[in-house]
Amino acid sequence: MTLRRRLVLSIVALVVAVSAVIGAGSIIALASIQTGAIDGQLQKATSRASTKFGQGQQNPSGRPNDDLLQPLGQAAGTLTAYYFAGGGAGGIVLTEDSSRLQLTSSQLDRLGDVKVGVAPATMDLGGSLGRYRVAAVQVDNPVLGNAVLVVGLPMSPVYESVRSLLLVVVLVVAAALVAASVVAAVVVRRSLRPLERVAETASTVARMPLERSDALQDVRVPDTDPRTEVGRVGSAFNRMLGHIAGAMQARERSEQKVRQFVADASHELRTPLASVRGYAELTRRMGGDLPKDVVYAMGRIESESIRMTSMVEDLLLLARLDEGREIQFDDVDLTGLVLDAVNDAHAASPEHPIEVDVPDQPVVVVGDAARLHQVIVNLVTNARTHTPDGTRITVGLAPSDSGSGVDLTVRDTGQGIDPEFLPKLFERFARADSSRSRSAGSTGLGLAIVDAVVQAHGGSVDVASEPGDTVFTVHLPAERPAEPAAAPAASDDATDDWSATPVPSATD
């Protein structure tokens, strides 16, 4: 249940409870007051009846006449009953038209239980009389003798007033319930509106891609009044966003320095590596007069310089991709790139059967042909390098499940990838082999380059792996992605190609 609903229900419940208590109290007070008034009237009626009854008049039957039982001044509905000590009882009720209604024997029996000298009591006489407030007094009649006189007044006026008040209370409580619901909903909505703005801002921040600190520049909570609870929350939230933006800026500066260093170092290393490779190759080719161990050492120097040059080129490529450069968009026949990469892989690793699953018609995307070819080669090489001989590899092209773009898949039937390693699979220098054995020849940059190139094309790369089935899926969009923000160059001549560096020729 939302906070707004809980507050509205709490306010309505409180209003209903207060109204019910006030209504119940009013009804009880009214009943008590009117009962007290009835008791006062009963006392006067009893006094008049006992005075008249004591005058000693009787009718020829030897019973008190009606004037003795209902003297002048008695209100309509007044009940009077008598009980002689030697036996005999009777009673009448004065009706609205001043006639006298005789009490039945059962009613006289009930009234005979009233004690003399006690407080008035309420008694249900049944029939048309209903409930009466009654009291009994001892009367000494010189003619008729001693008798107990019971006088009563109807309680119907009290009950009518109580029922009327109850109806009024129910209507008032119902009206108060409706009014309280409407007012509470409006007041709570207005009161919680600042909190909703804070929640909306938090949701906006949660949905934002926070790769760059400038994403938080226009996100702030407007409610920062320190005199209110929500204002203090909003102020604290804004300070938190400021701290996050500052931390992200510091991280961006640090990453920019690292990328600048990698780009500069990679660029500067290409020249000495080219020289080492050239001199090693020259020495090896002129090794007729050199000892065999020196020739072997020169060959090793040449091969390691080639491998190190490849690593430097990969690092420089990653640095340029980080800066938003190195991608030249044009129409690319992706089917042709797949076939070329598979043919090269067949020649390099004939012990791995490689199959191709592509549509009959060429698949054309917008991208950089050289970089997309590198993506395919890296994925196929990764499958060949980390699976045993005989592992079947399948390279496929198909329309994306989303209906927009193309999916490139590279599937193998190898032993699978450790689930604990999957989250960092595309990180730079990530290697599943913690011993860092070079037997497989991996530098840990191949999949990082795949991820960087695909992201530069506006796509994504995913992997799903289990023993016997590992599949890399590259999604490439159908259209060219938006141009990224330009980043500072790594160095003034970072785009120079290493082949332009003078290298000693074997014929020199």
259 contacts 319 by C-beta, under 8 angstroms: yes
* Residue 12 domain boundaries: 3-162
Looking at this protein, which amino acid is placed at residue 122?
A: T
Residue 502 belongs to a domain: no
Q: Are residues 299 and 343 in the same domain?
A: no
Domain boundary among 325, 343, 361: 325
Lowest mean pLDDT among 165-169, 271-275, 370-374: 271-275
Mark whether 343 and 396 lie in a shared domain: yes
202 located within any domain: no
pLDDT in tens, 467-482: 888 999 999 887 777 6
The mean pLDDT of 359-370, rounded to a whole number, is: 86
Residue 46, φ and ψ in degrees, nearest 5: -65, -40
* CATH number, domain containing residue 31: 3.30.450
CATH number at residue 234: 1.10.287.130
Q: Are residues 459 and 360 both part of a single domain? A: yes
pLDDT confidence bin for 502, thresholds 50/70/90:
very low
The domain that holds 468 is classified in CATH as 3.30.565.10
Tokens of 324: 């938003």
Q: CA angle, corner 499, sides to 495 and 500, nearest 5? A: 70
| Torsion, CA 25, CA 29, CA 35, CA 38, rounded to 10 | -150
Looking up tokens 């790139």 gives: 337
What is the mean pLDDT of the segment spanning 50-58? 70
**pLDDT for the residue 491:** 40
335 and 446 fall within a common domain = yes
| Strand, coil or helix: 276 | helix
- Residues 320 and 338 placed together within one structural domain of the fold: no
Question: H helices then E strands: how many in the chain?
Answer: 9, 13
- Top mean pLDDT of 235-239, 387-391, 436-440 is at 387-391
Highest mean pLDDT among 63-72, 237-246, 286-295, 452-461 belongs to 452-461
| Residue 107, token pair as written in the block | 């009613």
Query: Cα–Cα distance between 186 and 344 in angstroms, integer?
Result: 72
Residue 228 shares a structural domain with residue 156? no
Angle (CA) 267 269 273, round 5°:
130
Domain stops at, among 275, 294, 325: 325
Q: Tell me if 194 is assigned to some domain.
A: no
Model pLDDT for residues 305-340, shown as the tens digit of each residue: 887 777 777 777 777 776 666 677 888 888 888 898
Residue where a domain terminates, one of 295, 310, 325: 325
How high does pLDDT run on average in the chain? 79
| Whether residue 231 sits in one domain with residue 279 | yes
CB 422 within 8 A of CB 442: no
Q: What is the pLDDT of residues 14-52, one digit of tens each?
A: 888 888 899 899 999 999 999 999 989 989 988 888 888
- Residue 507, pLDDT above cutoff 50: no
| Least trusted range by pLDDT, from 191-195, 256-260, 370-374 | 256-260
Say yes or no to pLDDT of 433 above 60: no
Same structural domain, 239 and 226: yes
Reading the block at residue 182, the tokens are 């409407």
Q: What is the pLDDT of residues 200-213, one digit of tens each?
A: 877 877 777 766 66
Phi, psi of 25 (to 5 degrees): -65, -40
pLDDT at 435: 37
Specify if 402 maps to a domain.
yes
The whole-number pLDDT of residue 434 equals: 43
Strands (E), 288-337: 330-333
**Domain identity same for 218 and 317:** yes
Six-digit token string for 433: 């082999």
Residue 505 falls inside a structural domain = no
pLDDT digits (tens, 9 = 90+) for 104-130: 888 888 888 888 888 898 988 887 888
Structurally, the chain folds into a number of domains equal to 3
pLDDT of amino acid 445: 78
Distance CA 263, CA 244 (A): 28
pLDDT bucket at 498, cuts 50 / 70 / 90 = very low
Q: Are residues 158 and 214 in the same domain?
A: no
The verdict on residue 225 lying in a domain is yes
Claim to verify: residue 236 and residue 105 sit in the same structural domain: no
Predicted local distance difference test score (pLDDT) of residue 56: 60
Question: If we measure between CA atoms, which residue out of 47, 97, 53 comes closest to residue 77?
Answer: 97
Q: Residue 17 falls within a domain, yes or no? A: yes
pTM above 0.75, yes or no: no
To the nearest whole percent, how much of the chain has pLDDT over 70? 82
239 plus 357 within the same structural domain: no
Q: Would you say residue 388 lies in a domain?
A: yes
Distance of alpha carbon 91 from the chain centroid:
77
- With 60 as the cut, is the pLDDT of residue 436 above it? no
